[in-house]
């Protein structure tokens, strides 16, 4: 990996550059991804799976090669198990929506207080539509799931367990394999929100044994508007389709339709072809890296960042999980996160402030929000040093 | 602080530090709303910070009295600038005033952007709506 692969991060005499610590919101894109999207439109743009012409064949080939690349990336068993979506949010909404006929009064859906709104609201909607009950596992002050509470809320009434792999607000890496096996032992399906995991660790859905896994391209150095739903083949086969339209049908009459095979049954309409090709390029880019080196470098940056913040007596770290990926969240005594974020921004440091789309977690921790610094492969020790210097100056204001 | 005093002060700043120290001090110098006024009715929710607005209209003088609070100092300071323009003014004067132009002149326009999610733009919109109702 070379920082110079990311054009937006290049500074010059005119543009002094900035310290980008908001990769949990979206990552920056390497040239390889930008070029792949651009080249697709320049050389092979056509609709997929339909026309009998060369361009369409080229586009279809690239699109389906992208699907195979995604399959291999998360070690899914079959390419039919990879459904392209707009992102994690749409993937979770899809799974929740197609279970409307499967749940009823007396059933339960178990999530946690750590979840992003996109892994809460679709389940609220499913609960409201079916009469099922939504329950949430508590979070410890460390930012880790209260596993005793998780086990106490898991029962043979639990039909779906939906838990994030990594917390977007606090960086907690959840013991996902244990959660999956506990969910399965209770007879529940397990849905994993992998949005914050895929850029930070190798993900193997076969080893994890989850039923569904969702993630977004744009948090993985890929384009926005493309995401992935992995689903176990036999489950996807049995579920009804979600949106209706072109692509997802086999035969249509005015009265009725028969549906296409997997994964097309869940991909109504023209897909985000350029997005899938860009995501595939991002995966290729990641394949050129060494996960061990990336993860060691990230842990080093997180430790440096935490050590710097711990030297500032006004700063309170929010969440101290043993296993952390990507994120450091904190508060400054007597100051609103928005003030801190605004003053850091004046110094060219981009962080996120607020509730991070995890309002139930903020209520649970009784805080208005946090300041969140999040890291990706292009960050380095110099970024942490600039962030720490900007924080020290910020603290003189408040 | 009057709008002219605020504009004068801004004329002397030669660094972002001076400007933001001033805005934060301006925020801190604002009287807080009593807890009873920091209620759901007066709340303008921003994604990142929240603003409370208490607005009264006095028909005998045809003026609006406004009080503002926020949980963030910088937003309180920026609110004080909004108050300096609007408080005690007639509905006509409030509607005629161009807040975007003022924030642009003070190089603060980014804070009035809808993307900022600080509640400030929503507050300005609500004050203008109230002014329309009393016009």
Q: Could you tell me the CATH number of the domain that includes residue B44?
A: 3.90.1010.10
pLDDT at B115: 67
A310: Cα within 13 Å, side-chain hemisphere: 8
Q: Is the pLDDT of residue A347 over 80?
A: yes
Q: What is the DSSP letter of A46?
A: -
pLDDT at B22: 95
- Residues of B that are catalytic: 47
What's domain A33-287's architecture? 3-Layer(aba) Sandwich (3.40)
**Segment holding A317, helix H or strand E:** strand A315-317
Strands A315-317 and A82-85: unpaired
- Residue to substitute from A117, A333, A342, A357, interface B, most B β-carbons within 10 A: A342
| pLDDT class of B6 with cuts at 50, 70, 90 | very high
Query: How does the average pLDDT of chain A come out, rounded?
Result: 96
Q: What is the DSSP letter of B33?
A: P
Task: Find how far residue B15's CA is from the centre of its chain.
Answer: 23
Residues of A in contact with B72 (CB under 8 A): 336-339
How many C-beta neighbours within 10 Å does residue A386 have?
17
Indicate if ipTM > 0.85.
yes
| pLDDT class of B47 with cuts at 50, 70, 90 | low
Q: Is the pLDDT of residue B117 over 80?
A: no
Residue A339 to residue B74, Cβ atoms within 8 A:
yes
The Cα–Cα gap between B102 and B85 comes to 9
| pLDDT class of A104 with cuts at 50, 70, 90 | very high
**CATH number assigned to the domain with residue range A3-21+291-395, chosen from the 4 options 3.40.50.1580, 3.90.1150.10, 3.90.1580.10, 1.20.120.1200:** 3.90.1150.10
How large a percentage of chain A has pLDDT more than 90? 92
Give the residue, A228 or A57, on which the prediction is more confident: A228
- pLDDT by residue (tens digit) across B72-93? 999 999 999 999 999 999 999 9
Question: What average pLDDT does the segment A375-395 reach?
Answer: 97
How many C-beta neighbours within 10 Å does residue B126 have?
16
A11-15, B28-32, B40-44, B93-97: range with lowest mean pLDDT:
A11-15
Q: Is the pLDDT of residue B14 over 90?
A: no
Q: Is the pLDDT of residue B113 over 70?
A: yes
CB-based contact (8 Å) between B71 and chain A?
yes
The Cα–Cα gap between B61 and B121 comes to 27
pLDDT at A1: 64
Q: Provide the chain B residues 28-47 that lie in CB contact (below 8 A) with chain A.
A: 47
Distances (CA, A) of A124 to A96, A172, A356, B121: 9, 23, 19, 31
Distances (CA, A) of B108 to A151, A339, B29, B111: 51, 14, 19, 6
- Residue to substitute from B48, B78, B108, interface A, most A β-carbons within 10 A: B48
The Cα–Cα gap between A385 and A190 comes to 41
| pLDDT class of A50 with cuts at 50, 70, 90 | confident
Question: What average pLDDT does the segment A338-358 reach?
Answer: 94
Q: What is the 3-state secondary structure (H, E, C) of B95-131?
A: HHCCHHHHHHHCCCHHHHCHHHCCCHHHHHHHHHHHH
Residues of A near B (Cβ–Cβ under 8 Å) read: 335-339, 341-343, 346, 353-355, 368-369, 393, 397-398
The Cα–Cα gap between A246 and A259 comes to 10
Nearest-Cα residue of chain A relative to residue B71:
A336
Nearest-Cα residue of chain B relative to residue A359:
B47
The Cα–Cα gap between A3 and A379 comes to 8
Place of tokens 């176990």: A232
The answer to whether the CB of A57 falls within 8 A of the CB of A68 is: no
Count structural domains, chain B.
Answer: 1
The Cα–Cα gap between A147 and A167 comes to 15
User: Which residues, including other chains, have CB under 8 Å from residue A289's CB and lie 6 or more apart?
Assistant: A1, A377
Q: What is the DSSP letter of A80?
A: G
**Strand partners of residue A22:** A374
Residue A338 is nearest to which of B16, B17, B48, comparing CB atoms?
A: B48
- pLDDT by residue (tens digit) across A218-273? 999 999 999 999 999 999 999 999 999 988 988 999 999 999 999 999 999 999 99
Range of the domain at B43: 3-133
The Cα–Cα gap between A322 and A396 comes to 31
Distances (CA, A) of A248 to A119, A254, A267, A346: 25, 16, 6, 49
Phi, psi of A131 (to 5 degrees): 85, 5
- pLDDT by residue (tens digit) across A135-145? 999 999 999 99
């Amino acid at each position: 990996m070379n920082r110079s692969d990311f054009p937006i991060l290049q500074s010059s005499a005119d543009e002094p550059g900035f310290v980008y610590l908001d990769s949990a919101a979206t990552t920056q894109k390497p040239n390889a991804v930008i070029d792949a999207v651009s080249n697709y439109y320049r050389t092979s743009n056509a609709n997929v799976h339909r026309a009998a012409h060369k361009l369409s064949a080229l586009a279809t080939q690239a699109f389906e090669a992208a699907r195979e690349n995604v399959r291999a990336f998360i070690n899914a068993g079959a390419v039919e198990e990879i459904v392209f979506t707009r992102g994690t949010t749409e993937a979770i909404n899809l799974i929740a929506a197609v279970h409307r006929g499967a749940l009823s009064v007396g059933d339960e859906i178990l999530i946690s207080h750590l979840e992003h709104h996109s892994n809460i609201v679709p389940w609220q909607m499913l609960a409201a539509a079916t009469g099922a009950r939504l329950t949430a596992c508590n979070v410890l002050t460390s930012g880790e799931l209260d596993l005793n509470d998780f086990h106490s809320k898991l029962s043979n009434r639990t039909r779906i367990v939906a838990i994030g792999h990594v917390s977007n607000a606090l960086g907690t890496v959840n013991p996902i394999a244990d959660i999956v096996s506990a969910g399965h032992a209770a007879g529940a399906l397990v849905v994993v929100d992998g949005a914050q995991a895929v850029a930070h660790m190798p993900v193997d859905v076969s080893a994890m044994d989850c039923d569904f896994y969702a993630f977004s391209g744009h948090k993985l150095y890929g384009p926005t508007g493309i995401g992935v739903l992995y689903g176990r083949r036999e489950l996807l086969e049995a579920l009804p389709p979600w949106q209706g339209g072109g692509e997802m049908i086999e035969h249509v009459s005015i009265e009725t339709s028969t549906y296409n095979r997997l994964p097309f049954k869940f991909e109504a309409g023209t897909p985000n072809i350029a997005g899938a090709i860009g995501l595939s390029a991002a995966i290729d880019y990641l394949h050129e890296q060494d996960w061990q080196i990336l993860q060691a470098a990230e842990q080093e940056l997180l430790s440096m960042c935490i050590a710097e913040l711990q030297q500032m007596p006004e700063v309170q770290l929010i969440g101290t999980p043993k296993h952390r990926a990507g994120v450091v969240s904190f508060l400054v005594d007597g100051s609103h996160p928005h003030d801190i974020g605004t003053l850091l921004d004046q110094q060219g440091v981009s962080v996120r402030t607020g509730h991070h789309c995890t309002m139930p977690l903020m209520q649970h921790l009784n805080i208005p929000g946090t300041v969140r610094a999040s890291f990706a492969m292009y960050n380095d020790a110099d970024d942490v040093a600039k962030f720490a210097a900007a924080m020290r100056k910020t603290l003189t204001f408040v | 602080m009057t709008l002219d005093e605020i504009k004068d002060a801004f004329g002397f700043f030669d660094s972002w530090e001076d400007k933001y120290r001033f805005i934060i001090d301006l925020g801190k110098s604002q009287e807080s709303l009593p807890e009873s006024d920091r209620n759901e009715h007066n709340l303008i929710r921003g994604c990142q910070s929240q603003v409370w607005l208490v607005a009264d209209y006095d028909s005998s003088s045809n003026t609006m009295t406004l009080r503002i609070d926020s949980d963030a100092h910088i937003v309180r300071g920026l609110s004080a600038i909004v108050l300096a323009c609007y408080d005690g003014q007639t509905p006509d004067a409030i509607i005629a005033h161009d807040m975007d132009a003022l924030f642009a002149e003070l190089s603060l326009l980014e804070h009035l952007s809808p993307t900022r999610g600080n509640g400030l733009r929503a507050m300005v919109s609500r004050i203008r709506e109230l002014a329309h109702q009393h016009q």
